[in-house]
Amino acid sequence: MKIWDWSYVWEVLPYLYRGAILTVEATLLGFAIALVLGLIFALIRQSRNRYISTAMAEMVEFIRSTPLLLQVFFVYFVGPQFGIFIPAWIAGIGMLGLHYAAYCSECYRAGIENVEGGQWEACTALNLSRQRTWRAIILPQAIPPIAPTLGNYFIGMFKDTPILAAIAILEMLQEAKNFGAENYRFIEAITMVGFFYLVFSLVASALVQAISLWLVRRYHLQ
């Protein structure tokens, strides 16, 4: 019996293609949710109301301190017991986004707190509204330094998508497992999955570096 058979490599590719499309879609949609929710969480934590900011901080800490798989299981399997029925795709993407939003919010918060206090004082002296202060002054200075960290979370989310298989979403790794079970050949399928994850991570890392450099030039070197 051959250890490696190229014929199985070509045979598994259609399976991996289907799974790869779903994996990439899950990553892009989940990360879009994480970026938006993370920023909202970070802004709420800047609230002048101590009770609101504290409640938000506790919620973020709770999400970060519990496993993603447990959160997905709770929403998808426990939710129906309370009359909450969420399709697997929505539950999986939603929890990916929410889980990583907690991490992104801490990243945003670090960037915001890194902005010099004099910037706030200058905005107040110029009588700028709070909304314009955030949009035009604070966030453009806070986001470029944290772009590499956000990019790392993007790559991390991509590598966490196999968790979706736990609620019957056929992402790439699950497709490879199904192929292996049907053909009694796992080495080619699993190896090709690893190769795809490696290539995607390297490409994503290069894109993150390019975007980070562009942001720094756009907001700091003009």
Q: Each residue of 115-126: pLDDT tens digit?
A: 887 777 787 777
pLDDT, the chain, mean? 87
Amino acid, single-letter form, for residue 171: E
Banded model confidence at residue 15, pLDDT cuts 50, 70, 90:
confident
Cα torsion through 176, 182, 187, 190, rounded to 10: 10
Mean pLDDT computed over 66-81: 93
Q: How far is CA 88 from CA 73, 91, 124, in A?
A: 10, 5, 47
Banded model confidence at residue 221, pLDDT cuts 50, 70, 90:
very low
Residue-wise pLDDT for 152-197, tens only, equals 999 999 989 988 888 877 788 888 888 888 888 888 889 999 999 9
Degrees, nearest 5: CA angle 72-75-77? 95
Residue-wise pLDDT for 92-131, tens only, equals 999 999 999 999 999 999 988 888 877 777 877 777 777 8
- Cα separation, 134 vs 103, in Å, equals 21
* Residue 222: predicted pLDDT: 46
* Residue 8: predicted pLDDT: 82
Mean pLDDT computed over 77-81: 91
Residue-wise pLDDT for 16-40, tens only, equals 888 888 889 999 999 999 999 999 9
Degrees, nearest 5: CA angle 209-214-219? 130
Return the CATH superfamily for domain 6-220: MetI-like (1.10.3720.10)
